């Protein structure tokens, strides 16, 4: 019998890396819609974001200007969607829509979750949700 593998270092994490047509505008939207804060910002021209690392309530996401693989360049197609789990999905959903998101599915209860879905101005889909507790 082989020994249990040991884990060295911190636990693994996965963070979305979003390709967008305009990273400066996308970062502004995520700040307004989700209360994101910038952890790291790389500019290729003064005031123009090339890549930014954001924190949304402690969850990390990356945003990068990418002319070739953003949903706009792919005719609105994106194979990835995020789920943002928060205490009050109704309030954050309203905030995201007020900041410029398109409603894909209004907030509702389904499969033990309170969840709604939006498309942000860059074309990425976000589920804004919380599990329903008994």
The partner residues of 48 in beta bridges, in order of sequence, read: 45
Domain spans in the chain, listed from the N-terminal domain onward: 17-131
CATH classification code of 17-131 = 3.10.180.10
Tell me the pLDDT band of 7, cut-offs 50, 70 and 90. Answer: low
Contacts of residue 2, defined as CB under 8 A and 6 or more positions apart, other chains included, come to none
pLDDT of residue 113: 95
CB atoms near residue 19 (< 10 Å): 24
Could you tell me where the DSSP H helices lie in the chain? 23-34, 89-98
- pTM of this structure: 0.83
The Cα–Cα gap between 64 and 90 comes to 28
Task: Tell me the β-bridge partners of 102.
Answer: 119
Residues 6+ apart with CB under 8 A from 77: 71
Beta strands 48-56 and 37-45, pairing class = antiparallel
- Residue 35 clears pLDDT 60, i.e. is over it: yes
Task: Tell me what pLDDT residue 74 has.
Answer: 86
DSSP per position, 75-98:
TT--S-EEEEE-S-HHHHHHHHHH
């Amino acid at each position: 019998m082989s020994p249990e593998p040991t884990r060295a270092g911190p636990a693994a994490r996965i963070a979305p890396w979003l390709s967008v047509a305009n990273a400066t505008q996308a970062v502004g939207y995520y700040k307004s819609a989700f209360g994101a804060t910038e952890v790291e910002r790389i500019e290729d021209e003064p005031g123009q974001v090339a890549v930014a690392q954001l924190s949304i309530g402690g969850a990390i996401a990356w945003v990068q200007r990418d002319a070739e693989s953003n949903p706009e360049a792919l005719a609105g197609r994106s194979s990835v969607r995020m789920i943002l789990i928060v205490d009050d999905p109704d309030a954050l959903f309203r905030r995201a829509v007020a900041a410029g998101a398109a409603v894909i599915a209004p907030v509702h209860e389904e499969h033990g979750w309170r969840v709604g879905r939006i498309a942000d101005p860059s074309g990425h889909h976000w589920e804004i949700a919380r599990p329903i507790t008994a």
